Structure 1
Amino acid sequence: MPLESITDSTNHQPHRTEDGAGSRSPILANGWYSTSDLAACLRVDASTLRRWRTTRPPQGPPFVSISERVVMYSAQDVEEWLRSRRTVPGGEA
């Protein structure tokens, strides 16, 4: 069964910014996930994402620390991270 795009998740959509008339920075043009939103999409516990972030060196998808308690994940970065971890059975090692 093919996996749906992380941005096509039925219950958890990335946070989107209001569309400004050309005033939006490219980094804000994509969807963003909170830790709990991304954990639900990846079907892991939020503590797993926190552990990945605090491991040295950090593991998991790229993240942005907004504040001490707020961390966000770009939908585009998460999709790229997932693609980089893809394994094709029978493919070259």
Structure 2
Amino acid sequence: MPPLPTPSPPRSPQKSPPAEKPPPTRDRSGPGRPLLTPGAWYSTRELAVLLRVDPSTLRRWRTSRPPRGPAFVSFSARTVMYASADIEAWLNARRTAPDQND
């Protein structure tokens, strides 16, 4: 009778390639200043990440009457985009600078 083949050693699980680091969501030029690319357009999800709010907050602002939040463009019932210039203008309009005379 021929000898039985020896079992091969157990294989170690294959390692997946290292995940790419997500792009930074904060600009190094100032504390708390969102990183916006001039001329770029942002989806509801992308803008929610930058503003640190839930996407449902942006949807609620958009559908309130009158609409709140940054200006937006509806391409269809399900596709809404925000221009970086509109986001920047909206953020600047809400900026509060402490009084320098105190």
Taking structure 1 as the reference length, the TM-score comes to 0.70
Structure 2 residue corresponding to 1:65, chosen from 49, 57, 74: 74
Structure 2 CA distance for partners of 1:43 and 1:58, relative to 1, 3 Å: same
2:73 matches 1:88: no
Q: Give the structure with the higher percent helix.
A: 1
Larger radius of gyration: 2
1:14-62: per-residue Cα shift (whole Å, max 9, x none)?
xxxxxxxxxxxxxxx8100000000000000000000000000000000
Q: Classify the secondary structure of the residue corresponding to 1:58.
A: coil
Structure 2 residue corresponding to 1:2, chosen from 31, 36, 57: 31
Extract unaligned runs of 5+ from structure 1.
9-28
Contact 2:34–2:51 (8 Å) recurs in 1: no
Structure 2 CA distance for partners of 1:2 and 1:87, relative to 1, 3 Å: same
Q: Classify the secondary structure of the residue corresponding to 2:81.
A: strand
Number of aligned positions between the proteins: 72
Q: 1:2 & 1:35 partners in 2: Cα distance? A: 23
Q: Classify the secondary structure of the residue corresponding to 1:87.
A: coil
Q: 1:72 & 1:37 partners in 2: Cα distance? A: 10
Contact 1:6–1:79 (8 Å) recurs in 2: no
Q: 1:48 & 1:77 partners in 2: Cα distance? A: 17
Residue identity over aligned pairs, in percent, reads: 56
Contact 1:7–1:75 (8 Å) recurs in 2: yes
Structure 1 residue corresponding to 2:86, chosen from 74, 77, 80: 77
Contact 2:48–2:55 (8 Å) recurs in 1: yes
* Structure with bigger RCO (C-alpha 8 Å, 6+ apart): 1
Provide the alpha-carbon RMSD of the alignment.
Answer: 2.1
Task: Give the superposition deviation at 1:80.
Answer: 0.8
